[in-house]
């Protein structure tokens, strides 16, 4: 050891302590295997439910952050229809994940080839609705959000004996249900009769109407089920969120003990307990009450014990009801089903929760050096926050009892990462969705696809996140909050037309929504262009003054120190020999 | 009314005839120990394992066994599960001590990019792994039963991920068991005839329970 190296090593020791704190700053990592499994199974969509007396405007709200990263994002409107007696409705297998190259066609045309082998009796009239990966809003104001929750492994039924996938169930619910309760009964009874699973396993749906929000969970009953068995081909349960409360599902089963005698708050399939007994998940002689989630989809761990991997549940409750002072160390399965928020939530509050990044919590993705010099929350993905850069799209649905179906229901849609996107309203009565919402995929850049406009902006934000996000916030203020502000006047005009002639109201709403969407999509293409110009070469280009500032955006001093510390810590020898050149 | 024992005998004969008709050919008898695994990492292998449990048969399972692990016999050489790699040893080691050569390998065919991704595999590497595994089975005279229970919807078009898995395994099989839905286009029947591989068609995965009993017990 040379004398020159001694002080350097002493410095390294001190700096190591400093950097270790900056790098870790949290409790020890979860065991590798547990963390790996959790990442795979519990890292998808988040769905929020808001009761009518828990919202500022009396609307029942649900959300769905459709977090996939490789799925289809396209949307379609299905018009209402009348059907002749004896008509049948063909059942298709529809995968949440499967995509096709655009050259082969669009998903919603191609899935028609995947006949599940069942044609069920059609109803005389099917309602019109909007759908993406799932059905989201019909013209009766029945709305849906989704989150995968998984189930005990032996419950999975990926065999063709399971005729119903989740997507198919939601589409049929849209077609047939006038209330949330009807939607649950439609989906539950079809799954029991024709079997549930195939592409899907345990799933949660947030099912709402203008009066109620229900949290519905459904699971397959194993691969050995056959329609000839005479037993239900699915097991399901639903619990209503109290009107003055809110709930959330972040890829975890949420229903605990159930009281089927309380029909206003619980619904279930006839095998809700017996299935668990038959499969060995519940012992009725144990003396313990039956607990749905513990039997069918147990999820050990807490936000703290998993180092933030499953922190969304705790985080949501902590955001809406900080007065409850819920602890991240509390096991997720012990957290409440729903809570009364400290204050009623507005539409904008709910949208912002879908953008939550857990800033300022022990799971802050930009604390220390995690986010790099420009505090990019997408660099550090150990923590699973509610906002997800992989989102295909996100929905916020509103069901409003004070207005007729076509006007009362709104599904707000944003594409891509929630923080850099913009919610656009589509009333339930809208008879057409933008063409740009129906095309595009992840593998072919497409300027005709609305989704790519938002990815285009999102991409250019990543370079200097802390600076560029300010431009996005300004655009959101103008276009998203601008649209929210216009809704009362649009409602008023639509209602006046509706009273005279409902078809005129739907034409008016369609025009408003299509025009607004086009304006927003165009604005986001331009925003992407502007960000590219403004921050290219990592300098700040002032397009009005036609000057650029080489020192801006400036990397903060703490970052420069962190870089020096890293160099000394990780490559001390190279500090003495590096002579420049390319890395 | 006929005597109950007569009815039972008739019922047993009918069951045997039905099983024979379902198979179209005699069900091979192989015996234990057995390894279950996947070709393509879809969840169909979980169905296969549930079938084994329903049949009351103890087995070893590995989602991505290598040739060395296969040759290590019961216990798979002591390999343990890890991220993207799963092992389950339930074989009765009192009867079949660790290292006992496997008599049979049951392979559930079904491609899942999600499953392959989780195991760190690509289509090409999965194909290569399966080719080697099947070659070792042939060399060591280990019986291969290839199972396809995913149905028509998961078959995919020619050249699809799933079809590549079928091509990688089915021609090497000593016995094919497929659901009718999986064989709507006669793909497996063609392989069976071309390679002279006995084949059984079943309606549902439940039908596999009796077959694994007949093959292994």
The secondary structure of B88-150, three-state, reads EECCCCCCCCCCCCCCEEEEEECECHHHHHHCCCCHHHHHHHHHHHHHHHHHCCCEEEEEECC
Whole-angstrom CA distances from A20 to A13, A27, A35, A561, B193 are: 10, 12, 21, 14, 65
- Residues A36, B84: C-beta atoms closer than 8 Å: yes
Q: Is B181 on the interface with A (CB under 8 A)?
A: yes
CB A139 within 8 Å of CB A98: no
User: Which pLDDT score, from 0 to 100, does residue B151 have?
Assistant: 86
| Cα distance between residue B104 and residue B217, in whole Å | 12
Whole-angstrom CA distances from A103 to A70, A99, A439, A441 are: 17, 12, 11, 11
- Residues B83, A153: C-beta atoms closer than 8 Å: no
| Cα distance between residue A175 and residue A46, in whole Å | 24
Query: DSSP 3-state assignment of A536?
Result: helix
CA distance A158 to chain B (A): 7
**Parallel/antiparallel/unpaired status of strands B34-39 and B60-62:** parallel
Which strands make up the sheet holding B87-89, listed edge to edge?
Answer: B87-89, B60-62, B34-39, B104-109, B143-148, B175-179, B199-202
CB A163 within 8 Å of CB A116: yes
Among chain B residues, the shortest Cα distance to A162 is held by: B204
Q: What are phi and psi for residue A54, nearest 5 degrees?
A: -105, -5
Best residue in A71, A222, A224, A231 to probe B by mutation, most B CBs within 10 Å? A224
Give tens-digit pLDDT for B78-104: 999 988 889 999 999 999 999 999 999
- Residues A154, B50: C-beta atoms closer than 8 Å: yes
Contact list, A40 vs chain B (CB under 8 Å): 118
User: Which pLDDT score, from 0 to 100, does residue A28 have?
Assistant: 34
CB A435 within 8 Å of CB A443: no
Query: A169-180 burial, b if ≥16 CB within 10 A, otherwise e?
Result: bbbbbbbbbebb
| Cα distance between residue A155 and residue A225, in whole Å | 10
Question: Which tokens sit at A27?
Answer: 């409790």
In this complex, the residue of A114, A156, A161 whose CB is nearest that of residue B43 is A156
CB A426 within 8 Å of CB A433: yes
In this complex, the residue of B46, B110, B152 whose CB is nearest that of residue A156 is B46
| Cα distance between residue A304 and residue A524, in whole Å | 37
> Which candidate, A450, A443, A442, A410, places its Cα nearest to that of A427?
A410
What's A537's DSSP letter? G
ipTM attached to this prediction: 0.78
pTM recorded for the entire structure: 0.88
> Which candidate, A145, A174, A234, places its Cα nearest to that of A198?
A234
- Residues A158, B50: C-beta atoms closer than 8 Å: no
- Residues A36, B83: C-beta atoms closer than 8 Å: yes
In this complex, the residue of A97, A198, A224 whose CB is nearest that of residue B54 is A224
Tens-digit pLDDT profile for chain B (217 aa)? 445 455 444 444 444 444 444 445 688 999 999 999 999 998 899 999 999 999 999 999 999 999 999 999 999 999 999 888 899 999 999 999 999 999 999 999 998 877 887 888 888 999 999 999 999 999 999 999 999 998 887 777 777 888 999 999 999 999 999 999 999 999 999 999 999 999 999 999 999 999 999 999 9
> Which candidate, A457, A430, A577, A446, places its Cα nearest to that of A520?
A457
Contact list, B206 vs chain A (CB under 8 Å): 161, 224-226
In this complex, the residue of A32, A114, A226 whose CB is nearest that of residue B204 is A226
CA distance A161 to chain B (A): 6
> Which candidate, A247, A266, A91, A260, places its Cα nearest to that of A163?
A91
- Residues B47, A154: C-beta atoms closer than 8 Å: no
User: Which pLDDT score, from 0 to 100, does residue B14 have?
Assistant: 42
- Residues B205, A223: C-beta atoms closer than 8 Å: yes
| Cα distance between residue B209 and residue B217, in whole Å | 12
Omega before A412 within 30 of 0, i.e. cis: no
What's A380's DSSP letter? -
Among chain B residues, the shortest Cα distance to A35 is held by: B83
User: Which pLDDT score, from 0 to 100, does residue B23 have?
Assistant: 44
Contact list, B180 vs chain A (CB under 8 Å): none
Among chain B residues, the shortest Cα distance to A117 is held by: B181
| Cα distance between residue A453 and residue A458, in whole Å | 9
- Chain A, chain B: beta-carbon pairs less than 8 Å apart: 69
Among chain B residues, the shortest Cα distance to A227 is held by: B204
pLDDT, mean of each 10-residue run, chain A (583 residues): 42 42 36 37 84 98 94 96 98 90 92 92 98 98 96 92 97 98 98 96 97 98 96 98 98 97 98 98 97 96 94 98 98 98 98 97 95 95 91 97 98 98 98 97 95 98 96 98 98 98 97 98 98 94 90 91 90 59 53
């Amino acid at each position: 050891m040379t004398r020159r190296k001694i002080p350097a090593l002493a410095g390294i020791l001190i700096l190591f302590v400093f950097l270790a704190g900056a790098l870790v700053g949290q409790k020890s990592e979860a065991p590798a295997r547990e963390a790996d499994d959790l990442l795979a199974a519990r890292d998808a969509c988040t769905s929020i439910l808001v009761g009518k007396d828990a919202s500022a405007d009396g609307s029942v709200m649900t959300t769905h952050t459709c977090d996939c990263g490789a799925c289809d994002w396209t949307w379609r409107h299905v018009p209402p229809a009348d059907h002749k007696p004896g008509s049948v409705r063909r059942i298709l297998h529809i995968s949440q994940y499967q995509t096709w190259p655009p050259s082969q066609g669009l998903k919603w045309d191609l899935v028609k080839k995947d006949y599940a082998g069942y044609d069920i009796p059609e109803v005389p009239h099917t309602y019109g609705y909007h759908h993406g990966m799932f059905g989201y809003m019909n013209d009766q104001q029945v709305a849906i959000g989704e989150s995968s929750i998984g189930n005990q492994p032996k419950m999975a039924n990926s065999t063709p004996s399971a005729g119903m996938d989740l997507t198919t169930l939601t589409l049929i619910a849209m077609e047939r249900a006038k209330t949330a309760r009807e939607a649950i009964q439609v989906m539950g009874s079809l799954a029991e009769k024709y079997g549930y699973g195939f592409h899907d396993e345990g799933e949660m749906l947030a099912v709402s109407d203008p009066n109620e929000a229900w949290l519905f969970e459904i699971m397959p009953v194993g691969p050995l089920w056959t329609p000839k068995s005479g037993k239900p081909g699915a097991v399901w349960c639903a619990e209503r969120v109290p009107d003055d409360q809110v709930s959330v599902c972040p890829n975890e089963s949420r229903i605990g003990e159930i009281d089927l005698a309380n029909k206003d708050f619980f619904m279930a399939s006839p095998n809700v307990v017996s299935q668990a007994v038959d499969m060995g998940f519940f012992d009725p002689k144990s003396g313990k009450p039956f607990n749905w989630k513990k039997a069918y989809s147990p999820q050990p761990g807490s936000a703290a014990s998993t180092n933030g991997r499953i922190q969304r549940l705790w985080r949501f409750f902590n955001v809406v009801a900080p007065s409850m002072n819920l602890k991240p160390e509390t096991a997720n399965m012990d957290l409440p089903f729903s809570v009364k928020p400290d204050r009623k939530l507005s539409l904008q509050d709910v949208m912002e929760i879908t953008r939550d990044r857990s800033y300022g919590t022990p799971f802050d993705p930009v604390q220390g050096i995690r986010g790099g010099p420009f505090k990019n929350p997408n660099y550090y993905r150990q923590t699973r926050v509610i906002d997800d850069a992989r989102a295909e799209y996100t929905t916020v649905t509103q069901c409003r009892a004070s207005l007729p179906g076509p006007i009362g229901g709104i599904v707000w849609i944003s594409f891509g990462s929630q923080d850099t996107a913009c919610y656009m309203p589509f009333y339930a009565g809208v008879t057409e969705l933008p063409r740009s919402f129906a095309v595009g995929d992840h593998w072919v850049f497409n300027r005709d696809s609305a989704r790519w406009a938002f990815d285009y902006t999102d991409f250019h934000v990543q370079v200097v996140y802390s600076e560029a996000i300010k431009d996005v916030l300004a655009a959101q203020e103008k276009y998203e909050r601008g649209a929210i502000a216009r809704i009362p006047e649009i409602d008023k005009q639509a209602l006046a037309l509706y009273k005279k002639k409902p078809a005129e109201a739907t034409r008016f709403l369609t025009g408003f929504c299509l025009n607004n969407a086009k304006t927003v999509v165009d604005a986001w293409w331009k925003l992407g262009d502007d960000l590219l110009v403004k921050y290219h070469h990592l300098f700040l280009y002032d397009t009005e003054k036609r000057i650029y500032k080489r020192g801006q955006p400036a990397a903060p001093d703490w970052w420069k120190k962190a870089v020096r510390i890293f160099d000394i810590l990780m490559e001390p020898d190279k500090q003495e020999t590096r002579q420049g050149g390319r890395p | 009314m006929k005597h109950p024992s007569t009815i039972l005998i008739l019922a047993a004969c009918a069951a045997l005839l039905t099983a024979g008709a379902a198979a179209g050919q005699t069900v091979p008898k192989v015996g234990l120990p057995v390894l279950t695994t996947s070709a393509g990492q879809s969840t169909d292998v979980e169905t296969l394992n549930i079938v084994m449990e329903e049949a009351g048969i103890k087995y070893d399972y590995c989602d991505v066994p290598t040739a060395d692990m296969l040759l290590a016999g019961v216990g798979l050489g002591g390999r343990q599960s890890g991220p993207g790699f799963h092992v389950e040893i339930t074989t009765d080691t009192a009867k079949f001590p660790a290292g006992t050569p496997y008599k049979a390998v049951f392979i559930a065919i079904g491609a899942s990019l999600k499953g392959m991704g989780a195991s760190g595999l690509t289509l090409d590497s999965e194909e290569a792994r399966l080719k080697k595994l099947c070659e070792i089975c042939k060399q060591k005279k280990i019986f291969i039963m290839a199972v396809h229970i995913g149905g028509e919807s998961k078959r995919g078009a020619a050249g699809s991920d799933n079809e590549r898995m079928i091509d990688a395994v089915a021609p090497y099989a000593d016995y094919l068991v497929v659901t009718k839905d999986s064989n709507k286009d006669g793909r497996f029947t063609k392989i069976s005839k071309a390679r002279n591989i006995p084949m059984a068609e079943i309606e549902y995965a439940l039908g596999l329970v009796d077959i694994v009993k007949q093959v292994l017990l």
